[in-house]
Amino acid sequence: MKNFISVNDVDDINELIEQALRFKANPSVLKTAGAGKRVGLLFLNPSLRTRISTQVAASNLGMEAIVFNVDKEGWALEFTEAAIMNGTTVEHIKDAAPVLGQYFDILCVRTFPALQNREDDYAELVINQFIKYAGIPIISLESATLHPLQSLADIITIKEASLGITKPKIVLSWAPHVKALPQAVANSFAQWINAWGNAEFIITHPKGYELDNNFTKNATVILDQDEALLNADFVYVKNWSAYNDYGKIISTDLNWMLNNKKLSVTNNAKVMHCLPVRRNVELSDEILNGLNSLVTKQAGNRVWAAQAVLAEILKTK
Ligand code: CP
């Protein structure tokens, strides 16, 4: 694996899942694989899980991880081609990325979309320029449109929790939120579930929240949430802002928030969310505090997802 930006960088999803589960069973099994190697974790946006799980994963492989909060501690980066830099940006990515390439063996980057201009965000300008100019493997810690480490952890969690179910019914359900959020988690989850192919996949959302078909492909979309939830084995709850009326909040209808009554029509479904979650807006206390919630296990699996990906990229170093 050269870079890890989307599921398209993965040769064999099932083998990557198995590798992650081997690391979960024995975190130190490859404790010297990264000896003498250094990974940079660059954050242009906040994080709790991604930052710490990737640091733990690197440590399990014997790698040194250095975190750099570019948004708070770095020079303001410029990404525009032929920019006349007489404004607020101080350093062009064309200059900064090759320097980082000298310091690290692998570079991990988190960046969010601006949600102002769909074309710009979906061109993945930031992560693509790190790939172009750093000269070392790049791992996405969430980009403008995708969150692949999250999706890998999500599928690991589904695999662990679906013992005895050969083809689980998985429902990705939109949830209300007070802020306009990226589509990245939902896009990425759809892309990975489609590529994995071991599920009946349904997406439910209010009208106007259609996702990019490049990621959802042949997923069934059902606008009636109660109908979508019937006999579900897993419900993945997530808010996203509109893709078509780009970045807009079209609905804040709290009737879309999952609670035990809604869950009662499912096959005792397990409930997932990538976190952070707004309690009693996106998801009810009764679900998050209840036995069906997988959110903590899901976040725990971020370590094994990151370790599997780092180990795969280390093979090429
Ligand atoms: N799920 C996730 O990516 O969490 P953080 O934003 O805290 O890293």
Amino acid found at 277: V
- Answer with the residue of higher pLDDT: 308 or 317: 308
Ligand 1 atom at minimal distance to the Cα of residue 149: 3
**Nearest alpha carbon, ligand 1 atom 5:** 47
pLDDT the model gives residue 161 = 97
Tokens describing residue 205: 């959302």
pLDDT in tens, 88-101: 999 999 999 999 99
Determine if ligand 1 sits within 6 Å of the CB of residue 49.
yes
Determine if ligand 1 sits within 6 Å of the CB of residue 198.
no
Determine if ligand 1 sits within 6 Å of the CB of residue 150.
yes
User: In b/e form, how buried is each residue of 32-54, taking b as 16+ CB within 10 angstroms?
Assistant: ebbeebebbbbbbeebebbbbbb
Tokens describing residue 126: 């930031």
Ligand 1 atom at minimal distance to the Cα of residue 141: 3
CA dist 274 and 256 (Å) reads 17
CA dist 148 and 167 (Å) reads 22
Average pLDDT score, the chain? 97
Determine if ligand 1 sits within 6 Å of the CB of residue 151.
no
pLDDT the model gives residue 163 = 87
Q: Which of 53, 237, 274 to mutate to test the pocket of ligand 1 (most atoms within 8 A of CB)?
A: 274
pLDDT in tens, 19-53: 999 999 999 999 999 999 999 999 999 999 999 99
Tokens describing residue 75: 């020079």
- Stated pTM of the model: 0.98
Residue showing tokens 């997802």 = 305
Å from CA of 31 to ligand 1 middle: 25
Residue 33 · residue 62 · CB < 8 Å: yes
Å from CA of 206 to ligand 1 middle: 25
Q: For residue 276, is the peptide bond before it cis, meaning its omega torsion is within 30 degrees of 0?
A: yes
Residue 149 has pLDDT above 90, yes or no: yes
Å from CA of 85 to ligand 1 middle: 32
- Cβ neighbours of residue 177 under 8 Å, at least 6 residues apart? 239, 249, 252, 278, 281, 282
Amino acid found at 262: K
Ligand 1 atom at minimal distance to the Cα of residue 45: 6
Residue 283 has pLDDT above 90, yes or no: yes
**Nearest alpha carbon, ligand 1 atom 7:** 48
Determine if ligand 1 sits within 6 Å of the CB of residue 274.
yes
pLDDT in tens, 150-164: 999 999 999 999 988
Residue 317 has pLDDT above 80, yes or no: no
Label the pairing between strands 234-238 and 220-221. unpaired
Å from CA of 290 to ligand 1 middle: 22
pLDDT in tens, 203-215: 999 999 999 999 9
